[in-house]
Amino acid sequence: MKHNRNIHKSIYILLSLAGLVILAVIAQNVIIAESASKSLTAEIKKDCFSFTLPDSNIAGGIRLRLKSAIAIDNATKKVLYCYNADKIWPIASISKLLTAMVVLDHYRPDTIIAISKEDSRQSSRSLFRTGEKVKARDLLHAALMQSDNRAARALARSVAGTLDKFVVMMNKKAKDLEMLNTIMYEPTGLDERNSSTAAECAKLVNAAMIQYPEIARITSLRSYTFKPMNRRNSRRLVNTNKLVYSKYRVCAGKTGFINESAYCLTTVLENGSGRKVTVVVLGAPGPQTRFREARRLATFAFSKPG
């Protein structure tokens, strides 16, 4: 009996030691997970494309027809040009960069989404008709390249269930990117209350390019062809960012327009030497003026030392 008690005691001690080892391993894993989470947070903040906005405008040597603008050397983060860059302004479909980020956080590219009546309501022009079934990847291309509002709404609804819930996710994403002067009310940019600044649009397009390579890839395309699942004919998208036809390589970008915002563009451009600059123009008076002023600003920025 004494021998059995000793055996039971030994087993108890071994089990206790094993339990302590397991607890130590769990604790270590928690520490590692917390460390990884902190590292990820630090990495996200590093990817926020931080730069110092000057106290006053830097607009010498070039005059542009727009409400606000900024140009930044991507390598040094030096602001080469800024005019009213901290002025809050409606950004129209530039909002779709935030929409795409949230969608890509929950991305299932082959998911088939039906365009609903809600998606179609007051949506401006669209490639899609109510009832059409389209893969998520094709809707994402349509939202980013051709600024299709029904595509943006359908994607938002598929992610969050309702547009209101999706907007909460958009505003959280903006806060995570330290975009403190940016607020969203819906995912398309049709609401003039969707607003930001030229400086924060510069931060947004760079975060999109760095953290979401799919956004960079899609927004640099000239065209894209797809076919709705329940339609016979294919459809072709053409990028609204006309700088894809310029001498500069578009690394990422997004256009925007509603009456309240006038014509807007945020983009990252690369010249033949591999130098990148970020160019944002907000409130240009016409669609071609937007691109002409953006090209002039890019040429000006590339001529300046970083």
Tokens in use for 30? 């928690």
HSE at residue 92, side-chain half, CA atoms within 13 A, is 21
Gyration radius of the chain over CA positions: 25
Active site includes 96? Answer: yes
Q: Are 60 and 82 in contact (CB under 8 A)?
A: no
**Looking at 68, 120, 126, 147, which residue is catalytic?**
147
The torsion angles phi and psi of 27, rounded to 5 degrees, stand at -60, -40
Active site includes 116? Answer: no
* Residue recorded with tokens 């924060």: 200
Active site includes 147? Answer: yes
**Angle, vertex CA 36, rays to CA 207 and CA 101, nearest 5:** 25
**Looking at 93, 126, 195, 220, which residue is catalytic?**
93
**Looking at 67, 68, 96, 196, which residue is catalytic?**
96
CA distance 31 to 54: 40
Q: Report how far Cα 62 is from the mean position of its chain's Cα atoms.
A: 29
3-state secondary structure of 60: coil
Residues 6+ positions from 130 with CB-CB distance below 8 Å: 115, 116, 117, 119, 120
CA distance 277 to 304: 11
Beta pairing, strands 195-196 & 276-284: unpaired
3-state secondary structure of 238: strand
- Neighbouring CB atoms inside 10 A of 158's CB total 18
- Which positions are annotated as active-site residues? 93, 96, 147
